[in-house]
Amino acid sequence: MSTYPGQASPRKNKTLTWLAIACFVVGLGLTGFFTYRIVATAPRTPEPIEAGVVHLDAEGLTVYASVPVLTPPCQAKDSSGADVPLKAPTGSEQITVNSETWYVVARSVDRVPAGDYTISCTDEESGATYAAGQHMSVGAFVVSIFGAIGSLLIFFGLGVVFLVVGAVKNRRRNRPGDTFPGSGPGQGAPGNYPPPGSTFPTQPPGTTFPPYNPGPNPDRPQDR
């Protein structure tokens, strides 16, 4: 943008720009956090207990069955041989991983630490296949997904809004007003116009006009 001589260039306000950058940073951080939570809470295929020992990478022990079982006939022991108390879930819970559905039949009473555990299930009636794994919460997985999407949309959307509003305000601020070059308080009129209050051209300093010498006028008696 070009400015007239003597006209100060307006300063741009960068407050909204910094707010937009802050929104982008916060949104990126929250999206990264919830993405990590999605990976950490994603349902995993439990390990079959036929191998004897099941390794847990996180706290909590959960026993699954391939079909719903009313009374889980299972026992669990830790690596030292101590019994791990189990309890049935309060409601119906299930997970589907790789097109396979597993039903939760028991959980450890306490959130046992990660490590190796031995699980044995005696079931001659249902013919179910049993497996075990760490505690998984479908609710936490779903919340993490919505958290990542919400952080991306809300904070990045706010950042874009701040940038647009800031650009519009700066454009209005930089728009030239109804002024002329060199005009302003204490300055002369623009162009070749005389200053306010003057109706005739003034005599330049240092110069004199020739004396007035009227010619003959037939309306005056002395000139007849």
Digit-coded pLDDT (tens) for 138-178 = 777 888 899 999 999 999 999 999 999 988 888 887 776 55
What residue segments make up the domains of the chain, in order of their start?
Answer: 15-39+143-174, 44-135
pTM over 0.75: no
The residue among 83 and 69 whose pLDDT is bigger is: 83
From 197, 162, 140, select the one nearest 13 (Cα to Cα): 162
Percent of the chain whose predicted confidence (pLDDT) is above 90: 19
Residues 111-130 as b or e (16 or more Cβ within 10 Å = b) = ebeeeebbbebebeeeebbb
For the stretch 3-31, pLDDT in tens is 555 555 556 668 888 998 999 999 999 99
pLDDT at 123 > cutoff 70: yes
- Cβ neighbours of 205 (radius 10 Å): 5
pLDDT at 179 > cutoff 60: no
Residues 6+ apart with CB under 8 A from 6: 181, 182, 184, 187
Residues 6+ apart with CB under 8 A from 125: none
pLDDT at 202 > cutoff 70: no
Give pLDDT, residue 27: 92
Contact 70, 132 (CB under 8 A): no
Average pLDDT over residues 115-143: 82
Determine the Cα–Cα distance for residues 31 and 24; give it in Å rounded to an integer: 10
Give pLDDT, residue 209: 60
